[in-house]
Amino acid sequence: MSVKAFELVPAVERDLLMGDKARINIECIECCGKHLYVGTNDCFIHHFLLDEVASPMGKLSYSAQKLLNKYLGLKKPVAELRAASALERLIVLCDGMVFLVDMVTLESVPSAAGGGVKIRGVIAFCVNENPVNGDPFCVEMAILSSKRRTVQIYMVHKDRVQLVKEVSTPEQPCALSLDGYFLCLALTTQYMILNYNTGASQDLFPYNSEERRPIVKRISREEFLLAAPGGLGMFANAEGVSQRAPVSWSESVIAAAVSFPYVVALDENFITIHSMLDQQLKQTLSFRDGHILQDFEGKVILASTKAVYVLVPLPLERQIQDLLASHRVEEALMLMEGAQRNIPKDKFQVLHRRILQRAGFIQFGKLQFQEAKDHFRKGELDVRELISLYPLLLPASSSFTRFHPPLHEFADLNHLAQGDQEKVLQCKRFLISYLKEVRSTEVVNGCREDVDTALLKLYAEQDHDSLLDLLASENACVLADSVPCLEKYHKYFALGLLYHYNGQDSAALQVWTRVVNGDLQDSTRSDLFDYIVDFLCCCSNLDLVWKYADWALQKDSTFSFLQRRSSEESFSIGLKEKSFCLLFFSPRLVLSLLSDSSADAEPLTKARERLQAFLRESNLYRVQFLLGKIEDCEQLLLERATLHGKLEEHDKALHILVHKLRDFPSAEAFCVWASSGRDPAYRQRLFHLLLEEYLGGEPRVGGGGELEMAAVDVLNRHGEVFDAVRVLRVLPESWSLQLLRPFLNRAIRASMHARHTSQIAVGLAHSENVQLLHDRLKERKKPIFVSEKKGCHLCHNTFKEPDVVCLPGGVPVHTHCVAQRIKDSPTKRHLTNSSNHT
């Protein structure tokens, strides 16, 4: 598919080059920066200065100024010109001779030994653009000899040339190119690669030079472009391998050049431009009588027999935008990525992101959502660009404005869908999935409110299961926009969650109770009443809990014990106790279910589990008061044990668990729970209490073996907690070592670990002590300055002699003053003698 990649711009018009001399033809050209050199068939070299001129619209043109022309005096066409700018020389091929001329004066350069610098019998030559010689003031050149089948390598200096290598070829070469040590040659019947340093060669493919003109063009480091049979442009590297697919051009191509990522080819009537990325023909330009095409440092120059032109590449961004405008997304991305090496890194990153974003919207418009998502993610799209397509999804408080120039052609989603509701639905589903993916990434930095609010609106409209997950977790939904939306779609339970997340528990409970009362309709949760009760149990706002207690009691007679009455359990106690009464529905419910012989076992089990968890975790109840209420209930022994633990009556708790309940796992769990957050010694004391209950208690008749096995189990499971020596003293002598092997292993490992830890601590303390001593010695070495102007800190008289004593802190005093101080004081002080001189 075509794309406009280049424009053909005149550089040197016919009149400027040759005036009215009709028989003068262009034979060769060379460009070095702004300097253009043209060789003609009348043995002249013309020197022009080319200036680029940009119009206000950005269109490029060229202004040529003729500086000089010079007749070489050989009466033959100038066949080839190559600039050696470091030497300020032009290398000229004319009448089978290679010689040097000055780039400024165009005068022939005499050799250092006298006479001109000339190499005779030359068919063609080329300059090594990847030289192996490290001398910047020396140019490497390869020439083809007309007298023998050889290639000669010369070093070109400012005033001389030096032959350094000559290699033979199997056939007479007719065209060549050089890169490093590698020669790419067109022989009479084939192409070949030849390493002139090692002599190694590699045949490429056959070619008949008599049928058509061969093309050998260096395009990059150790890579060449060749004209192959069948109208193909073949690529070959120095190893003789083609790493690019060939381009298909005309059978009559006479010249080729590369302006990455394009291959430009010239035939008798046209210029064809192919992409090196996908090998497709991108552009064709009419150009009659063309016979020269060369690229100079990225500038592609053509010549007919009478005039010179520049093939100006259109800005890469414009080419890509044209491709995107034609919805040729893959071509645009391929061109962008293929041209990366020619664009500064910072500019490429910005341009690449923008192209990916535009490509994403094109795919989005085609409902190709996976491709769109990939482009959006890689292009780091501001997600609000996408959200803004959906009417009313962005919060009213959002400050977002769309990128300019626009990334897409859509006004909004309705414009894109053209009334097709199925398309609208697909687009909304895509946005949900995309926002879910990116909301936890850096893409949403700075716009989390916009993203979460949009998600909430989509979830509510689509009745999506993830709405509750969004509101039950950390979110940034804007309250002012979210509340009307949730009310519109009757998502009142979700609305309560939103209020709760924003610290408005009163509003949440008000909405939820209206749903339970039937004032509002929302079927999200059939157990909403139970949820409210659980919510009140966890609520830290005691006034709010008290406010909704009566409502909860009226809704479920199971909680009738909380109805307002003037008993000492309700209103004669303080605020925390009121909270306890509200949160203490679990024990009352348990007692109620225990007294009901017809009650199912499952509700009782769940109620006891809730009560036990509450007793362990809450500190908002009076333990003694509650213990008195269940003291006589033999069915709540586990709960009694927990309450004894709260009072740190651990012996009583363990006695209940071990001897009354025979619940040994719960006994171990009690020790772990009761010692949670305490030091290791506290936990050790509890486990020793448990061991004593197992070994020294009053077992049931026939139950001694069961207690002993429980003792073995607790030792083997928690061996690292116990004091091993103390345990061994109390164990029955009849127990075997094999029985206690796990315990002993754990105890020994724990002892060794403690020992190693202590050794490390001692070592660290010793190291710290050594460091402190070192610092102290350094302090002692500091000089103390005294003078007749300074006074003693003890007697306040000035110093007459340099002998002083230094108090801690570096304060100098008289020796006799400190001697008297020590004599008078019962506590000796550490002093440092000093005899520093002023």
What confidence tens digit (pLDDT) does each residue in 276-293 have?
A: 888 888 889 999 888 899
Quick one: 703 and 808 in the same domain? no
Q: Are strands 89-94 and 78-84 parallel, antiparallel or unpaired?
A: antiparallel
pLDDT tens sequence across 171-215: 999 999 999 999 999 998 999 999 999 999 999 989 887 778 899
pTM higher than 0.75: no
Quick one: 225 and 307 in the same domain? yes
- Using the predicted structure, report yes or no on whether residue 479 has a pLDDT greater than 90: yes
Question: pLDDT at position 755, please?
Answer: 84
Provide the 3-class DSSP secondary structure of residue 829: coil
- Using the predicted structure, report yes or no on whether residue 566 has a pLDDT greater than 70: no
One-letter amino acid for residue 404 of the chain: H
Q: Which of 738, 755, 772 is where one domain is finished?
A: 755
Measure the CA–CA gap between 639 and 644, rounded to whole angstroms.
9
Percent of the chain exceeding pLDDT 90 equals 44
Question: pLDDT at position 409, please?
Answer: 84
Quick one: 813 and 682 in the same domain? no
> CB under 8 Å to 701, separation ≥6 — which residues?
none
pLDDT tens sequence across 654-670: 999 999 999 999 999 99
760 within a domain of the structure (yes/no): no
Quick one: 737 and 814 in the same domain? no
**Average per-residue pLDDT in the chain?**
85
Count the domains in the chain: 3
Please calculate the CA angle 783-788-792 and round it to the nearest 5 degrees.
70
Domain interval for residue 693: 622-755
Residue range 549-570: average pLDDT?
50
> CB under 8 Å to 77, separation ≥6 — which residues?
27, 39, 40, 41, 42, 43, 94
Long-range pairs of 325-334 with CB within 8 A, sequence gap ≥ 24: 326/1, 327/362, 327/366, 328/1, 328/3, 329/359, 329/362, 329/363, 329/371, 331/1, 331/3, 331/278, 332/359, 333/359, 334/275, 334/277, 334/278
Q: Which residue has the higher pLDDT, 689 or 18?
A: 689
141 within a domain of the structure (yes/no): yes
User: From start to end of 134-187, where are the E strands?
Assistant: 139-145, 150-156, 161-168, 175-179, 182-186
How confident is residue 572, by pLDDT bands cut at 50, 70 and 90?
very low
Quick one: 12 and 100 in the same domain? yes
Lowest-confidence range among 592-606, 673-687, 755-769, 804-818?
A: 592-606
- Using the predicted structure, report yes or no on whether residue 135 has a pLDDT greater than 90: no
Determine the number of helices (DSSP H) and then strands (DSSP E) in the chain: 28, 31
Q: Which of 736, 755, 774 is where one domain is finished?
A: 755
Q: DSSP character for 136?
A: T
pLDDT tens sequence across 390-437: 999 999 999 898 988 888 888 888 898 898 999 999 999 999 999 999
608 within a domain of the structure (yes/no): no
Measure the CA–CA gap between 756 and 379, rounded to whole angstroms.
55
Question: pLDDT at position 237, please?
Answer: 92
- Using the predicted structure, report yes or no on whether residue 597 has a pLDDT greater than 80: no
Question: pLDDT at position 19, please?
Answer: 75
Q: CA–CA distance from 517 to each of 495, 507, 520, 521, 727 (Å)? A: 16, 15, 8, 10, 62
The domain that contains 805 carries what CATH number?
3.30.40
Percent of the chain exceeding pLDDT 70 equals 90
Quick one: 740 and 823 in the same domain? no
Residue range 337-361: average pLDDT?
82
Q: DSSP character for 658?
A: I
Quick one: 708 and 793 in the same domain? no
Quick one: 730 and 814 in the same domain? no
Residues 366 and 421: beta-carbon distance below 8 Å: no
Quick one: 737 and 811 in the same domain? no
- Using the predicted structure, report yes or no on whether residue 584 has a pLDDT greater than 50: no
pLDDT tens sequence across 487-542: 999 999 999 999 999 999 999 999 999 999 999 999 999 999 989 988 887 887 87
Residue range 365-383: average pLDDT?
92
How many other C-beta atoms are found inside a 10 Å radius of the C-beta of residue 473? 9
- Using the predicted structure, report yes or no on whether residue 567 has a pLDDT greater than 60: no
The domain that contains 48 carries what CATH number?
2.130.10.10
Quick one: 174 and 248 in the same domain? yes
Residue range 435-463: average pLDDT?
91
Residues 380 and 354: beta-carbon distance below 8 Å: no
Measure the CA–CA gap between 708 and 714, rounded to whole angstroms.
10
Quick one: tokens of 333? 């991305």
519 within a domain of the structure (yes/no): no
- Using the predicted structure, report yes or no on whether residue 838 has a pLDDT greater than 60: no
Quick one: 717 and 813 in the same domain? no
279 within a domain of the structure (yes/no): yes
371 within a domain of the structure (yes/no): no
Question: pLDDT at position 487, please?
Answer: 95
Quick one: 52 and 171 in the same domain? yes
- Using the predicted structure, report yes or no on whether residue 614 has a pLDDT greater than 80: no
701 within a domain of the structure (yes/no): yes
Q: Which of 755, 773, 799 is where one domain is finished?
A: 755
pLDDT tens sequence across 800-813: 887 888 877 678 88
Question: pLDDT at position 577, please?
Answer: 42
Question: pLDDT at position 348, please?
Answer: 80
Please calculate the CA angle 678-682-685 and round it to the nearest 5 degrees.
155
787 within a domain of the structure (yes/no): yes
- Using the predicted structure, report yes or no on whether residue 693 has a pLDDT greater than 70: yes
